[in-house]
Structure 1
Amino acid sequence: MRHTREYFASAPAGVVVARLGADKPGSVAFTSKIAVPTPTTIPPTRGRTRTPGSPA
Structure 2
Amino acid sequence: MNMPPRDRTRLKNLLRNYRDHIITKYFNSMKHIPIDKIIETIDDAIQIISLNL
Q: Which has the higher strand share?
A: 1
Structure of larger gyration radius: 1
State the TM-score bracket (shorter-chain normalisation): under 0.3
- Which of the two has greater helix per residue? 2
- TM-score, normalization: structure 1? 0.26
